[in-house]
Amino acid sequence: MPLPFSTLSAVTEADLIAACQRGEPRAQRLLYERLAGLMLTVCRRYLKRREDAEEALLLGFAQMFRALPTYRGEGSFEGWVRRIMVNRALMELRRKEPLTLSFDDFAQPENLATAPATADTQLQADDLLALLAELPPGYRTVFNLYALEGYGHQEIAELLGISEGTSKSQLSKARALLQRRVGQAAAVAY
């Protein structure tokens, strides 16, 4: 039975998912509107250019709608969608910004000097996204996966096709670089 139009705004996530699994266009639109903003931020964390992030979002949603009939309701639906988006963003990243070429760059001492971020550093989300975008792709990817998505080094290594040691090294260097730049950005902000 199609979702009544008047109740679209109050429909539960389970009903919405069920309607999307039946292929109802209005439910698909509603699900897109609920998740697209969050998922675009996820894609922007991995991809430097907004156009690339939007392309990843588009392909990720298409993949999600195709895979929706196989969703069994185990775990968070948003987490399930997020994983799809992360994978799609990584695929897009490999196409747009070759990952392997950047793993060994940026290891200059002047880039690694640290200026610790203070606890009360107030940076807006767009500032943080800009800081991430300035990171080399390898640093950015490992930092995102480890610090923000909660992946372990072994998972990251499998996902990116690198060793665990490389993952740890990239994370360490990414943190050092971010500490320094967050400090600079906070100093400019104040």
Smallest separation (angstroms) from other proteins to the CB of 81? 13
State the distance between the two ends of the chain, measured CA to CA, in whole angstroms. Answer: 56
Asked if residue 38 binds other proteins (CB under 8 A), the reply is yes
Give the residue with the Cβ less far from other proteins, 98 or 113. Answer: 113
CA distance 124 to 186: 11
102 binds other proteins (CB under 8 A): no
HSE at residue 53, side-chain half, CA atoms within 13 A, is: 17
Residue 14: half-sphere exposure toward Cβ, Cα within 13 Å: 4
Residue 103 contacts residue 166 (beta carbons within 8 Å)? yes
- CA 143/CA 149 separation, integer angstroms: 9
Q: Is 79 in the site for other proteins (CB under 8 A)?
A: no
Under rule CB under 8 A, residue 80 binds other proteins: no
Smallest gap from Cβ 72 to other proteins, in A, equals: 22
Q: Contact between 133 and other proteins (CB under 8 A)?
A: no
Amino acid at 15: D
| Residues binding other proteins (CB under 8 A) | 25, 28-29, 32-33, 36-38, 40-41, 44-45, 53-54, 57-58, 61-62, 65, 109, 112, 114, 116-117, 119, 121, 123-125, 128-129, 132, 143, 147-148, 169, 172-173, 175-176, 178-179, 182
